[in-house]
Amino acid sequence: MATALSRLSLLQPRTLGEALRVLRDEGPLVPLAGCTDLYAGFHFGTVPEQRFLDLQGLRELGGIRRRGETLVIGALTTYTELIRSPLVRRHLPILAEASRWVGSPQIQNRGTLGGNVANASPAGDTLPVLAVAEATVVLRSADRERRVPFGSFYTGYRQTVRRSDELIVAIEVPPVEGRQWFRKVGTRAAQAISKVVMAAVRAPRPRIALGSVAPTVVRVPRTEAVLAEGGTLAEAQAVLVDEIQPIDDLRSTAAYRRRVSGNLLARFWSDTARQGT
């Protein structure tokens, strides 16, 4: 049954400092950014919490900038902003590409990068991109800030290391050497959750990450090692289908996901070879 919105309360801090104090002193509170995931939860009655913290007014969480060679993306950055950002298109074009595949223009206008990361769905489209970029999640509480390597952020299905008194304030992306590649496979070209989503970088040691094939987004180090050490594509595909743990669910079957993952690996390898890496 849909959640009765009239029973919910929403606190609206004006600054990040105020938001973090409220989170510490008046919690538990659920952060609310673009509300695209949360609203779906209200619709299906799957969000039991009743008290929310509105992040929309926090200017400190917006903006895309460079700090030295590092790209710093505020947690409230929307997909539309990612798609339009010259910095993102230059530094991490596959993040702009992944953003184009999210939902519809309406979702791209509201949904945020921080929300995609915090929501922790294994199907989140930006997550394989951040995994191969070896990004860092910047978490802040009233008392301290800490930086968590993206590869350590998820601890299980929809579980993260974020504490309830912390907000994601930014995602930091170091320089990424090598050709970048992204592909999402879903039921339709738009408004579809992925059956398999893959991001990869063709570097001397290739980096490959997949979504929708395990409880969390995953890097596939054994597959990467085969390619780095000059193994054949067929050998890498055989390792890949063994390295992922897809399941049968409403959207697809494990067998289909294994097959498509192998095909995507082949496509990544041939596309990036043709581009002359």
Ligand X SMILES: Cc1cc2nc3c(=O)[nH]c(=O)nc-3n(C[C@H](O)[C@H](O)[C@H](O)COP(=O)(O)OP(=O)(O)OC[C@H]3O[C@@H](n4cnc5c(N)ncnc54)[C@H](O)[C@@H]3O)c2cc1C
Q: Which residues bind ligand X (CB under 6 A)?
A: 30-38, 40, 55, 75, 102-103, 107, 110-112, 114-116, 118-119, 124-125, 167-168, 191, 193
Residue whose CB is less far from ligand X, 111 or 262: 111
Least Å from the CB of residue 6 to ligand X = 19
Least Å from the CB of residue 102 to ligand X = 4
Residues 6+ positions from 122 with CB-CB distance below 8 Å? 157, 211, 212, 213, 214, 215, 216, 217
Least Å from the CB of residue 16 to ligand X = 10
CA distances from 111 to 39, 40, 77 (A): 11, 12, 8
Chain position whose Cβ is nearest to ligand X: 115
Residue whose CB is less far from ligand X, 38 or 92: 38
Within 10 A of 59 (CB to CB), how many other CB atoms are there?
A: 11
Residue whose CB is less far from ligand X, 161 or 266: 161
10 near 33, Cβ under 8 Å? no
146 near 230, Cβ under 8 Å? no
Residue whose CB is less far from ligand X, 48 or 204: 48
Least Å from the CB of residue 209 to ligand X = 14
